[in-house]
Amino acid sequence: MVNKAQEKQKIEVKKPSLKETKLVVRIIHAVIFFGLGFLVFRNVFFKELPFFGYHTAAEILGGVGFAAFGFFIFPLILMFLKYWIEALVIAAVSKVVSDFWDMQSKRIQQARREKQRLKADEQSIREKQELDNAILLDTSVLIDGRVLDVVKAGFLDRPFVVTQNVMNELQMLADNKNKVKRSRGRMGLDVIKELKKRVNVIVPDIKTKNKDVDATLVEYAKEKKIKLMTMDFNLNKVAKVSGITVLNINDLVNALKTVLLPGERFGVKIVQEGKEKKQGIGYLNDGTMVIIEDGIEKVGQDVEAVVIKVIQSSAGKIVFGEIAKNGNGNGN
């Protein structure tokens, strides 16, 4: 048992402390600097003299001075150099890392800006494609509602543009206390709702300082180079002056009305007296007004008439005629 305990004591060697290690290192420095100081004094100051003599004491003192420097000052210099080198390395590494991240950040920001630019370009191209064949609708067309009938008939399948200020105007009418205005506003909103079920309806939020709806529509149509559909006489004129192609629903209706040529016979019922003397007024099945010369005596009767002339305008078509010579009060 004793032998085992002794072996254990031999194995367990006490490790030197940090303080002891530093002391040993300082002593080593002192010894090295002592030898260095001795040699410096010997080879610089007493080079021509014999190796041993009265000057040996000076050489030893020089060595002791160098040893003191190595023991006290040199460790501080090493410590300073250590911290300085560490700071220098840390600064260099930080600079490299910082430059790397700055470069990566710039690349990321540039890639993000490029992505946003491409997205904006794609959106602009998509919007332009959508607006290529689009028609801008004003409030009067939506309140009239006949554009919905044209779409239902399949004659218009292109996108429509209804600006936000037109929507707001219809909403204001729908909330109006006046029964007629309220009905018109609701009619316009219902038409938009039905159009959305059948065609693409684009509702852009136009940012403009101009509060006038008509001026905004003209500005938007001119900027986007699209057609404007309106039944408003003044807006029609202003838009045409601005170089905008204007579509009037009345022009379409008139174009679809029965075509009558001068000299052609047709049947009509005279329903009322005209403004001029002896004139009678009737209407064709499509609503076209017919003015019959000397027709006052046939009010309430169906007559056969002959076309004298036809007047065409955006307000509608007016047919002027006279009772056929062989016609009678019971004409077709």
Note whether 248 and 263 are same-domain residues.
no
Residue with tokens 């006038």: 212
Question: Which H or E run includes 32?
Answer: helix 18-44
In this structure, what are the phi and psi dihedrals at residue 219, rounded to the nearest 5 degrees?
Answer: -65, -45
The answer to whether position 247 is within a domain reads yes
Residue 127 and residue 178 in contact, taking contact as beta carbons nearer than 8 Å: no
Note whether 229 and 275 are same-domain residues.
no
The answer to whether position 269 is within a domain reads yes
Write down which residue in 228, 254, 280 finishes a domain. 254
Note whether 233 and 301 are same-domain residues.
no
The answer to whether position 11 is within a domain reads no
Note whether 182 and 145 are same-domain residues.
yes
The answer to whether position 119 is within a domain reads no
Range of the domain at 170: 135-254
pLDDT of residue 261: 84
Note whether 215 and 305 are same-domain residues.
no
Residues 4-19 as b or e (16 or more Cβ within 10 Å = b): eeeeeeeeeeeeeeee
Per the structure, the count of domains in the chain is 3
pLDDT of residue 14: 62
Write down which residue in 220, 254, 288 finishes a domain. 254
The answer to whether position 233 is within a domain reads yes
pTM for this model (two decimals): 0.52
Each residue's pLDDT tens digit, 246-283? 998 888 877 777 778 888 999 999 999 888 888 999 99
CB-CB neighbours of 310 under 10 Å: 18
The answer to whether position 31 is within a domain reads yes
Residues linked to residue 223 through DSSP beta bridges, in sequence order = none
pLDDT of residue 331: 41
Note whether 43 and 142 are same-domain residues.
no
pLDDT of residue 330: 44
Q: Fill in the amino acid letter for 272.
A: Q
Q: Alpha-carbon torsion 104, 105, 109, 110, what sign?
A: negative
Residues linked to residue 262 through DSSP beta bridges, in sequence order = none
Residue 131 and residue 159 in contact, taking contact as beta carbons nearer than 8 Å: yes
Dist CA 139 CA 184 (whole Å): 10
278 Ramachandran zone, left/alpha/beta (phi>0; psi -120 to 50): left
Write down which residue in 254, 280, 299 finishes a domain. 254
Note whether 211 and 283 are same-domain residues.
no
- The low-confidence residues of the chain, meaning pLDDT below 50, are 328-332
Question: Which residues lie closer than 8 Å to 64 by C-beta, 6 or more apart?
Answer: 34, 37
> Domain with 183 in it: what CATH number?
3.40.50.1010
Note whether 191 and 289 are same-domain residues.
no
